Chain A
Amino acid sequence: MDPTLSLGIDIGSTTAKLVLAEGDKTLCQTYERHFSQVRQKLYTMVRDIRPLIRGRTFSAAISGSAGMGLAEDAGIPFVQEVYATSEAVRALEPSAGTVIELGGEDAKVIFFRGGVDERMNGSCAGGTGAFIDQMATLLDVSAEEMDRLSLEAERLYPIASRCGVFAKSDVQPLLNQGARKADVAASIYQAVVNQTIAGLIQGRAIEKKVLFLGGPLYYCHGLRRRFSETLRLSDDEADFPEYGRFAVAIGASIYARKSGKVFTEDTLEAALRNALAARPISSRLPPLFADESEYRAFAERHARASVPARDPQTYSGPAWLGIDCGSTTTKLVLLSADREVLYSHYSSNQANPVGIIREQLVKLRALCGDRIAIAGSAVTGYGEDLVKSAFSVDIGVVETIAHYTAARHFRPDVDFIIDIGGQDIKCFRIRGGAIDSITLNEACSSGCGSFIETFARSMGHTAAEFARLGLKSAMPVNLGSRCTVFMNSSVKQSQKEGATVADISAGLSISVVKNAIYKVIRANSPQELGRNIVVQGGTFLNDAVLRAFEKELGGEVVRPAIAGLMGAYGAALYAMRLSKSSLISAEALASFEHISKPAVCQGCSNHCRLTVNTFSGGRRFISGNQCEKGAGIRLSGERLPNLYEFKREKIYNLRAGENRRGRIGLPMALGMLELAPLWHGIFTALGFEVTLSGPSTRRVYEKGQFSIPSDTACYPAKIMHGHIETLLDEGVDAVFYPCLTYNLDEGGDNHYNCPVVAYYSQLLRGNMDRLRNVKFLCPFLNVNSSRELSREFLAFLRKSFPEQRFTGGEVKAAVAAGLKAQADCMASIHAEGEKALAFARAHGKRVMILAGRPYHIDPEISHGIDKLAVSLGFVVVSEDSVFPLADLPRVRVLNQWTYHSRLYRAAQYASEHEDTQLVQLVSFGCGVDAITTDEVRSILEAHGKYYTQIKIDEITNLGAVRIRLRSLLGALEEK
Chain B
Amino acid sequence: MPSEKRRYVAFTREMKKDYTILAPNMLTLHFRLLMQVLRNHGYHMELLETDDPSIIETGLKYVHNDTCYPAILVIGQFISAIQSGKYDPHRVALIYFQTGGGCRASNYISLLRKALEKAGYGYVPVISMNLTGLERHPGFRLSVRTMIELIHAVLFGDLLMSLRNQCKPYEITPGASDALADRITRELADKMKHDPAYFAQTRAIYRHILDQFAAVPRSGERKVRVGIVGEIYVKFSPLGNNHLEQLLVDEGAEVVTPGLFDFLTFTLFTKLTDTKLYGMGRLRYPLLRAACRVMLSKQKELIDVMKKDGRFRAPTPFERIAALGREVVDEGVKMGEGWLLPAEMLELNDSGVHNVVCAQPFGCLPNHIVGKGMMKPIKEKHPEINLVAIDYDSGATRVNQENRIRLMLSNASPGGAVTD
Contact = CB atoms under 8 A, between A and B. Distances in A.
Interface of A: 65, 68, 77-83, 106, 115-116, 118, 120, 122-124, 202, 255, 258-259, 283, 478, 480-483, 486-487, 489-490, 492-493, 496, 518-519, 522, 524, 709-710, 712-713, 717, 739, 741-742, 747-750, 752-756, 758-760, 762-763, 765-767, 778, 780-782, 785, 787-788, 791-792, 888, 890-897, 925, 927-931, 933-934
B362 interface: yes
A738 B404 CA distance: 35
B349 to A, nearest CB: 15
A931 B63 CA distance: 10
B373 to A, nearest CB: 4
B397 A518 contact: no
A896 B106 contact: yes
25 contacts: A68-B399, A81-B403, A116-B411, A120-B404, A258-B415, A709-B373, A712-B362, A741-B332, A754-B365, A755-B368, A759-B335, A759-B370, A762-B329, A762-B330, A766-B374, A766-B376, A782-B277, A787-B279, A788-B279, A792-B278, A893-B110, A894-B107, A931-B64, A931-B67, A931-B107
A927 B363 contact: yes
A489 B399 contact: yes
A79 B369 contact: no
Interface string B385-420: 000010101111111111110110111000110011
Contacts of A122: 389, 391
A763 B336 contact: no
A892 to B, nearest CB: 6
A289 to B, nearest CB: 22
Nearest to A115: B383
Given A79-B416, A496-B399, 6 more contacts: A82-B410, A124-B362, A124-B391, A487-B395, A752-B102, A893-B110
A928 B363 CA distance: 10
Given A710-B368, A766-B328, A754 B118 contact: no
Interface stretch (B1-9, B25-33, B38-46, B256-264): B1-9
Nearest to A260: B420
Nearest to B373: A763
Contacts of B419: 77-79
Given A709-B376, A888-B3, A756 B368 contact: yes
B389 A742 contact: no
A933 B114 CA distance: 14
A755 B366 contact: yes
Given A741-B335, A749-B2, A896 B330 contact: no
B102 A739 contact: no
A919 to B, nearest CB: 18
Interface of B: 1-4, 7, 53, 60-62, 64-68, 100-104, 106-107, 109-111, 113-114, 118-119, 134, 274, 277-280, 328-330, 332-336, 362-377, 383, 389, 391, 393-404, 406-407, 409-411, 415-416, 419-420
B285 to A, nearest CB: 15
A758 B335 contact: yes
A577 B362 CA distance: 51
Given A123-B362, A480-B395, A767-B376, A930 B332 contact: no
A487 B67 CA distance: 19
A926 to B, nearest CB: 8
B164 to A, nearest CB: 26
A710 B114 CA distance: 31
Contacts of B3: 747-749, 888, 895
Closest 5 CB pairs of A and B: A482-B395, A766-B377, A763-B373, A752-B102, A486-B395
Contact of A890 (B4, B330, B370, B393): B4
A710 B373 contact: yes
A709 B342 CA distance: 14
A80 B102 contact: no
Contact of B61 (A202, A518, A756): A518
Contacts of A891: 7
Nearest to A938: B114
Nearest to B396: A123
Given A118-B411, A741-B332, A754-B365, A930 B399 contact: no
B65 A481 contact: yes
A877 to B, nearest CB: 24
A483 B395 contact: yes
A83 B111 contact: no
Nearest to B5: A890
Contacts, number: 236
Contacts of B334: 741
Contact of B397 (A489, A712, A766): A489
B177 to A, nearest CB: 24
Residue among B134, B278, B334, B398 facing the most chain A CB atoms (10 A cut-off): B278
Contacts of A750: 100, 102
Given A749-B3, A780-B332, A934-B114, A493 B107 contact: no
B280 A782 contact: yes
Nearest to A519: B65
Contacts of A255: 416
A519 B383 CA distance: 42
Given A480-B394, A480-B395, A742-B278, A767 B373 contact: yes
Contact of B60 (A481, A758, A934): A481
A696 B47 CA distance: 51
Contacts of A754: 102, 104, 365
Contacts of B61: 518, 524
A255 B332 CA distance: 48
Contacts of B65: 481-482, 518-519, 522
B365 A927 contact: yes
A13 B57 CA distance: 27
B369 A763 contact: yes
Contact of B365 (A82, A739, A755): A755
B396 A524 contact: no
A741 to B, nearest CB: 6
A79 B406 CA distance: 9
Contacts of B367: 710
Residue among A78, A482, A496 facing the most chain B CB atoms (10 A cut-off): A482
A518 B394 CA distance: 13
Given A80-B403, A496-B399, A892 B114 contact: yes
Contacts of B376: 202, 709, 766-767
Nearest to A717: B368
Given A123-B396, A480-B395, A927-B66, A118 B60 contact: no
Given A123-B396, A255-B416, A762-B329, A927 B102 contact: no
A425 to B, nearest CB: 14
A930 B397 contact: no
Contacts of B411: 83, 116, 118
Contacts of A496: 399
B401 A123 contact: yes
B110 A892 contact: yes
A363 B82 CA distance: 63
Contacts of B118: 524
A930 B67 contact: yes
Contacts of A781: 278
Contacts of B4: 888, 890
Given A123-B396, A489-B397, A780-B330, A712 B114 contact: no
Contacts of A713: 368
Nearest to A791: B279
A282 to B, nearest CB: 8
Nearest to B98: A894
Contacts of B2: 749
Given A83-B407, A486-B395, A709 B372 contact: yes
Contacts of A758: 102, 335
Contacts of B119: 524
Nearest to B367: A710
Contacts of A478: 53
B407 A755 contact: no
A929 B107 CA distance: 12
Q: Which of A487, A709, A791, A934: most chain B CB closer than 10 A?
A: A709
